[in-house]
Structure 1
Amino acid sequence: MTFEELKPKVIDILHHDYTLRDEKLLQVCHLLKDNIDYYDWVGFYFRNGDKEELLLGPYAGEPTDHTVIPFGKGICGQVAVSNKNFVVPDVTTQDNYIACSITVKSEVVVPLFVDGKNIGQIDIDSNVLDAFSELDERFLEFVNEQVAKLF
């Protein structure tokens, strides 16, 4: 399924009135993981109140031990500080990488803004080297813009 075909499906999931926010986010994670071949793990991390750390939110994929990530640590922690997308074509080249699985080869993290404030991010791991393009970034920015409307 193409990104353009997925966009209305993302909107549809997020606009169900009688579904809790975390359930909507979980459905989005599964939608992306199940329909984009190289998305092997899809999850959200959110800022933990005023603490400089991220907490794991809904996700689809293998369980992870990384349920709390300090700001600055790993790719997710760096995005929490930089407020910028981070595409990692080859995770083995990153000194500050937190390995979730030995099968992960590349990663993309896109921050989630609400009223101009970074409240979290979407994190995608791929078992394919150099899996992500600018098209993935634009699509994930779209997803986050839609998710931001829930907050």
Structure 2
Amino acid sequence: MLGWYQARLAARPLLTQSITSAVLFAVGDVTAQQLVEKKGFENHDLARTGRMALYGGTIFGPAATTWFGFLQRNVNLRTTNRTILARVALDQGVFAPTFIGVFLSSMAVLEGTSPQEKLEKSYTPALLTNYMIWPFVQLVNFKFVPLHHRVLFVNVISIGWNCYLSYLNST
């Protein structure tokens, strides 16, 4: 399975990482609905899962792939540790705040609700929770994970994060 994924990644990196993001965003939502909210399959909101997959595949996957490439090419300091810390700082100071807002706004638009109300209600709690988790995850990501696997690593960790975001978005 890993060999197949590696071949797809080498042949079509952006598409492969986008599809992977779509699938794992959907998994995060299914986890939220079934394990956290305990909706049961008869009450599962397929449209909500679809919105998460759509966002993951069309917005997050391409953006994260591009972002990690940008950081790899453009943030290179005198030492490896300084480079890693600078990448984490940029990721958490620029990408995270932006894409939490993009996520919440996108979900509101797809749900036919007010992006402004969604942001007022959920942005700060999501960002604060982000800062308790993601700086450490990204430190590991930038230190140990090769560039071509960083989106996959983030997406695997994001199963839990997307479960949280999906739940936060639905409340």
Give the alignment's TM-score, normalised by structure 2: 0.27
Q: Which has the higher contact order (CA 8 A, sep 6+)?
A: 2
Higher strand fraction (1 or 2): 1
Structure with a larger share of its residues in helix: 2
Q: Scaled by the length of structure 1, what TM-score is found?
A: 0.29
